[in-house]
Amino acid sequence: NDLTLSVGQAPFSGFYAFRSLIAGDYAKEFWQAFRNTFAISMYGLIFGFPVPIILALFFSEIKSDFYRSLTQILTYLPKFISTVVITSIITLMLFEGNEPHQAPGVLTSLFQMFGWIGENTRMLHEPQYFRSIYIISGIWEGAGYGSIVYFAAIMAISPTNYEAARIDGANKLAQIRYVTLPGMAPTLTIMLILRIGEILSVGYEKIILLYNVQTYETADVISTFVTRIGGLMGGQSISLNTAAAADLFNSIIAMFLVLGANFISKRVSDTSLF
């Protein structure tokens, strides 16, 4: 009968789910997932945010429309490949064959040749390599598609600004510094604020397809924690409430991150979301 009650009529169940997350039975798993989520997102922001901007700058310097369109299509393509196929490609580039007779893949052989990893290293089964694999593959997958916004911002800059800069003796790097980047500044600010709001939003699909028992300590994130606790424990009310509390906790922190980034942007510049 409680299922037919509205939100206002339902009895308040208390904060036991939040207590269980923060300092209870699920605290160790939750805080590990929280740390992993924050680390993966921050590394993705630091190393992944500039790449689409650099790609857009490269595209803007290609004079031939045909070659520019071709390179853009090639960089956009990974975004339209399903996550399952992407993870399969990653796995095949690191391993060949099936267990227990797996041979090193192309990337693994290359890394071993340069001495970056050991001879018997299995990168997908080593916790210290998981974040790098996830972030680099994410940059490869989304950088081209993400460059569309920045390329459009560059194309919106008036050519007379570049002509004036050339007359003043500015070379190509000076034009990028004093014309292109200032012209892109509003777009860069808005995209950075949005990206900050996604710091704790790491999707579970790719994580689940890549991680295993050996990499659990660095691979488990809040979304996989919520999926595991809420969906794989028989649908028990305690586990469902705990999963919902974890997701709500994640959303609240993301909201404050967006508000904080927007406030700082408004104080520092004239650009903000609201």
Report the length, in residues, of the chain: 274
- Measured in whole angstroms, how far is the alpha carbon of residue 50 from the centre of its chain? 13
**pLDDT at residue 10 is higher than 70:** no
The answer to whether the CB of 151 falls within 8 A of the CB of 59 is yes
Structure-model confidence comparison of residues 249 and 52, the more confident one: 52
CA distances from 152 to 37, 48, 76, 225 (A): 31, 19, 15, 38
- Is the pLDDT at 233 greater than 80? The verdict is no
In the predicted structure, residue 2 carries a pLDDT above the cut 80:
no
Mean pLDDT of 198-223: 85
Tell me the two tokens of residue 67: 């070659």
Q: Residue 95 forms beta bridges with which residues?
A: 104
CA proximity to 147, closest of 52, 246, 252: 52
What's residue 6's pLDDT? Answer: 62
CA distances in angstroms from 209 to 108, 122, 141, listed in the order given: 19, 16, 15
Q: Is the pLDDT assigned to residue 219 strictly greater than 80?
A: yes
- Give pLDDT, residue 105: 80
pLDDT score recorded for residue 237: 56
pLDDT digits (tens, 9 = 90+) for 127-182: 889 999 999 999 999 999 999 999 999 999 999 999 999 998 889 899 999 999 99
pLDDT for residue 164: 92
* More confident site: 247 or 73: 73
The per-residue pLDDT for 67 is 92
What is the SS3 assignment for the chain? CHHHCCCCCCCCCCCHHHHHHHHCCCHHHHHHHHHHHHHHHHHHHHHHCHHHHHHHHHHHHCCCHHHHHHHHHHHHHHHHCCHHHHHHHHHHHHEECCCCCCEECHHHHHHHHCCCCCCCCCHHHCHHHHHHHHHHHHHHHHHHHHHHHHHHHHHCCCHHHHHHHHHCCCCHHHHHHHHHHHHHHHHHHHHHHHHHHCCCCCCHHHHHHHCCHHHHHHHCCHHHHHHHHHHCCCCCHHHHHHHHHHHHHHHHHHHHHHHHHHHHHHHHCCCCCC
Higher confidence at residue 221 or residue 1? 221
Inform me whether the pLDDT recorded for 99 exceeds 50.
Answer: yes
Long-range contacts of 95-104 (CB under 8 A, 24+ apart): 95/122, 95/124
**What's residue 4's pLDDT?**
60
Report the share of the chain in percent with pLDDT over 70. 89
Closest CA to 37 of 264, 251, 259, 261: 251
Q: Give the per-residue pLDDT at 12.
A: 65
